[in-house]
Chains A and B, each alone.
Chain A
Amino acid sequence: MSDVSDLVLDARGLVKHFPITQGIVFRSKVGAVRAVDGVDLQLRRGETLGIVGESGCGKSTLAKLLVGLERPTSGEIMVRGDDMVRLSGPALRRARRNIQMVMQDPYTSLNPRMTVGDIIGEPYVIHPDAVPRSGRERATQELLDLVGLNPDHINRYPHQFSGGQRQRIGIARALALRPEIIVCDEPVSALDVSIQAQVINLLERLQRELGLSYIFIAHDLSVVRHISDRVSVMYLGKIVETGYHKAIYEQPTHPYTQALLSAVPVPDPRLRGHRDHIVLEGDVPSPANPPSGCRFRTRCWKAQPYCADHEPLLQIRQRAPHPSACHYAEVRDVLHRY
């Protein structure tokens, strides 16, 4: 179905450490927050890769690395044969057009003092050769129409729109430079359920019509299942399990994935008392000082002394048909028929 030529994004060994410093005059580095600590991911044309994980697992930092808002400590991000990490100046600016972002909060990610037309048209000011000056207003109106807003509202301000409409503005802005890849960082989590569905449908329609590839980052597992072809689960800066959506949801092998899935409330009262409830103890450890070996071992019910010394690689194992970073990976269906 897909081959290597379909690959639109290929990131390898991505690492982002934020230094922790001490002192004012003689600043010295005393440690590092390992926000992203060795992540590989591939994205094919027209595909949606979902990334799930709890707060602090590094998924938003990963998004920023992919669109070039943060520079990785190490690793490479290949987009159309160019390594985004090594590019600079005009070449980087050009390459960035191809990978755009939709932010989480439609209330703070739009400048309240700019009109909608200026917000959506700003990419054309930064990249003047994308659309000639005379055609920009029309291009902006076409974008508004594309995302289901009234093109006549080009001179309105963000506060005149509802949350769902603002998220459409954010999507229009991301589409302005006709990118192949859009990184969506929690695009619907600030919206009410009835509005969420509208935005999810819009993203799916745009993907079909424009052949877009999405990286879809969210903590809501049912939204991710709905929209994703493949899913990666992150924990403390690493991907612990990855595979096709059916594999992850129906045959999870990593204990963290299993716990995460079992903790999601299912909107069906008939399943009450019939579900596998794995309640994890404690909180996610600090990424400044992650546990040795397997990072999940401090909350894992399967942990053995071996886990403290040997870091499990993300790979296919005897009892794990898709890549899983657990020495004792084994399929366990926690959702059952839901």
Chain B
Amino acid sequence: MTDISVGLDPRAPLLHVDDLHVEFRTRDGVAKAVNGASFYLQPGETLAILGESGCGKSVTAQAVMGILDSPPGHVTGGQVLYRGVDLLKLAEKDRRQFRANRIAMIFQDALSALNPVYTVGFQLAELFRKHRGMSRSAAKLKAIELLDQVRIPAAKDRINDYPHQFSGGMRQRVMIAMALALDPEVLIADEPTTALDVTVQAQIMGLLAELQRQRNMGLLLITHDMGVVADVADRISVMYAGKIVEEAPVHDIYARPAHPYTKALLESIPRLDHKGRELNVIRGLPPSLTDIPKGCAFHPRCGYAREICRMDQEPPAYQIAAHRIARCHFIREVLGV
């Protein structure tokens, strides 16, 4: 086994995704799911990737994790740097050392993410046996300890239960336990609470925040829920048609969005002061990934769009302030300055 810590640069960002491109080659054409996504994540920080279905946020997570279905999915460009090491250039056996050890992931649907024919205890202990070479009995003890940490009542007894014997919220806890088993420094959470009820969602988000604090993990939260993001994120990257169209600290983006898409999204959520009035809508539909509009991908739905937005050249990433960028020609108008 090669030592994975060789070559890591402690001064480089924990995770830095640079100009990532992913496409799916299907019978119906090439779907460009991710078109130059860039972002970074530091220890202890929560970065939310916010977007609607089909914007490429889950595919980005899969590419970072190295679990893209390939074929049809192909990473066609860019880098995924973990402490300066490009994961995309590693051989599969080396990459495997990063998965779970350094970067772990939790999914929306815990029932399909867990194996239904093995007990929860077996699946947890397997991690310690395979990655850490522990004995069965030692691994089992570690598994119980983990279930305790994610606050599953009577962990000792439940270790022999199968996933279907747990409730939705408890299953999500099991998956969190599994992701955290090998003390990763980056946790990717892909819509971790979308399938859960609000009261259970509050429990799970609280647990994630607490575990993140204890371990100083970087959390990459993939979600469409602007309420959850407002509650937990430090920074937000808004994704549209495979690109990050705006990136900003959480307070700035809610107070003064700089990209028309972000602004329109925020205005379309029902709020108290909108009661009895029509909601603002974003006209039209998100673009098909096999046929993304030229120029700015958002222009057919944008109220600010002018001739320049339809040109071949897409808007560059304008730096608005420290840690704030937006890809729009009319940032000043959107910000109202």
Which A residues are closer than 8 A to B by beta carbons?
Answer: 54-55, 162, 164, 192-198, 200-201, 204, 219, 221-223, 225-227, 245, 259-260, 262-272, 277, 279-280, 283-284, 338
Residue of A nearest to B283 (CB): A198
Instruction: Return the 7 tightest CB-CB contacts between A and B, nearest first.
Output: A265-B227, A226-B270, A54-B197, A194-B282, A197-B279, A263-B202, A192-B52
**Contacting residues of chain B (208-256) with chain A, CB-CB under 8 angstroms:** 224-231, 233, 250-251, 254-255
Q: When chains A and B are docked, how far (Å) is the Cα of A110 from the Cα of B149?
A: 45
Are B279 and A201 in contact, with the CB atoms below 8 A? Answer: yes
List residues of chain B with CB within 8 A of the CB of A223: 270
Q: Contact at A259–B199, with CB atoms within 8 Å?
A: yes
The listed residue with most A CB atoms (<10 A of its CB), out of B226, B255, B269, B280, is: B269
CA A137 to CA B199, docked complex, whole Å: 47
Contact of B274 among A164, A192, A226, A280 (CB under 8 A): A226
| Residue from B201, B228, B270, B285 whose CB has the most chain A CB atoms within 10 Å | B270
Q: Which partner residue on chain B sits nearest A227 by CB separation?
A: B270
Tell which of A54, A194, A227, A262 touches B264, judged by Cβ atoms closer than 8 Å.
A194
Residues of A within 8 A of B281 (CB): 194, 197-198, 201
Among A162, A221, A225, A338, which residue has its beta carbon within 8 angstroms of that of B198?
Answer: A221
Which of chain B's residues 169-217 have a Cβ closer than 8 Å to chain A? 169-170, 197-203, 205-206
Complex A-B: 26 CB contacts under 8 Å = A192-B52, A193-B52, A194-B265, A194-B286, A195-B285, A197-B268, A197-B280, A200-B279, A204-B278, A221-B198, A225-B270, A226-B275, A226-B279, A263-B202, A265-B225, A265-B230, A266-B227, A267-B226, A267-B229, A267-B269, A268-B230, A270-B254, A271-B230, A279-B206, A283-B169, A338-B272
- From the candidates A221, A262, A265, A269, name the one contacting B250 in the complex (CB within 8 A): A269
Please, how many angstroms separate the alpha-carbon atoms of A314 and B250 in the complex?
42
Question: Chain A contacts of B52 at CB under 8 A?
Answer: 192-194
CB of B5 within 8 Å of the partner chain: no
Q: Are B251 and A269 in contact (CB under 8 A)?
A: yes
Least distance between B206 CB and chain A CB atoms (Å): 6
Q: Does B334 contact A (CB under 8 A)?
A: no
The reply to whether A269 and B202 contact each other, CB–CB distance below 8 Å, is no
Instruction: Write the B8-28 contact mask toward A (1 if CB under 8 angstroms, else 0).
Output: 000000000000000000000
B213 CB → nearest A CB, Å: 14
Cβ-closest chain A residue relative to B274? A226
> Out of A192, A197, A267, which one reaches B227, CB within 8 Å?
A267
Bound complex: CA A63 to CA B282 (Å): 30
Q: Taking the nearest CB of chain A, how far is it from the CB of B159, in angstroms?
A: 19
Quick one: which of B170, B206, B251 contacts A270, CB cutoff 8 A? B251
Are A55 and B265 within 8 A (Cβ)? no
B266 at the interface (CB under 8 A from A): yes
Complex CA gap A267/B250 in Å reads: 11
Tell me how far the C-beta of B6 lies from the nearest C-beta in chain A, rounded to whole angstroms.
40
Query: Number of B interface residues, CB 8 Å?
Result: 45
Closest CB-CB distance, A206 to chain B, in whole Å? 13
The total number of A-B Cβ pairs within 8 Å is: 115
Q: Who on chain B is nearest to A165 by CB?
A: B285
Q: Which residues of A contact B197 (CB under 8 A)?
A: 54-55, 219, 284
A225 CB contacts on chain B under 8 angstroms = 270, 272, 275
Q: Please measure, in the bound complex, the distance between the C-alpha atom of A259 and the C-alpha atom of B202, giving whole angstroms.
A: 10
Q: B170 — which chain A residues lie within 8 A by C-beta?
A: 283
CA distance A259 to B199 in the complex (A): 7
Interface centre among A55, A260, A265 (most CB of B within 10 A): A265
Least CB separation from B251: chain A residue: A269
Residues of B near A268 (CB, < 8 A) are: 230, 254
Q: Which residues of A contact B135 (CB under 8 A)?
A: none
A197 to chain B: which residues have CB within 8 Å?
Answer: 268-270, 279-282
- Which residues from B are CB-within-8-Å of A265? 198, 201, 205, 225, 227-228, 230-231
Measured in the bound complex, the distance between the Cα atoms of B276 and A245 in whole Å is 12
| Interface residue B53 (Cβ < 8 Å from any Cβ of A) | yes
Assembled-state Cα–Cα distance A102/B156 (Å): 46
Which residues in B have their C-beta under 8 angstroms from that of A263? 198-199, 201-202
Q: Given A54-B199, A219-B198, A277-B202, check contact A269 B254 (CB 8 Å).
A: yes
Q: Are A260 and B199 in contact (CB under 8 A)?
A: yes
Closest B-chain residue to A196, C-beta based? B268
Chain B min CB distance to A212 (Å):
17
A241 to chain B, nearest CB (A): 15
- Nearest CB of chain A from residue B262's CB, rounded to whole Å: 12
The CB with the most chain B CB atoms within 10 A, among A260, A272, A283, A338, is that of: A283
Known: A225-B270, A265-B228. A283 touches B200 (CB 8 A): yes
Say how far B287's CB is from chain A's closest CB, in angstroms: 11
If A269-B251, A277-B202 touch, whether A222 touches B269 (CB-CB below 8 Å) is yes
Q: Which of B201, B230, B270 contacts A272 (CB 8 A)?
A: B230
Q: CB distance A194 to B169 under 8 Å?
A: no
Contacts of B53 in A (CB 8 A): 192
Tell me whether B93 is interfacial, beta carbon within 8 Å: no
Kindly state the separation between the CA atoms of A40 and B142 in the bound complex, as whole angstroms: 51
Q: Is B137 interfacial (CB-CB < 8 Å)?
A: no
Interface core residue of A227, A245, A259, A267 (most chain B CB under 10 Å): A267
Cα–Cα, bound, A262→B206 (Å) = 13
- In Å, the complex CA distance between A259 and B200 comes to 11
Neighbouring B residues of A195 by C-beta, 8 Å: 285
19 additional A-B pairs beyond A194-B282, A265-B231, beta carbons within 8 Å, are A54-B197, A55-B197, A164-B285, A192-B53, A196-B268, A197-B279, A201-B278, A222-B270, A223-B270, A263-B201, A265-B227, A267-B230, A267-B254, A269-B230, A270-B254, A270-B255, A272-B230, A279-B199, A280-B203
* Assembled-state Cα–Cα distance A194/B298 (Å): 13
> Is B323 part of the contact surface with A, judged by Cβ < 8 Å?
no
Contact of B199 among A200, A226, A267, A280 (CB under 8 A): A280
Considering the complex, which residues of chain B in the window 261-312 have a beta carbon less than 8 Å from any beta carbon of chain A?
264-266, 268-272, 274-275, 278-282, 285-286
Residues of B near A269 (CB, < 8 A) are: 230-231, 233, 250-251, 254
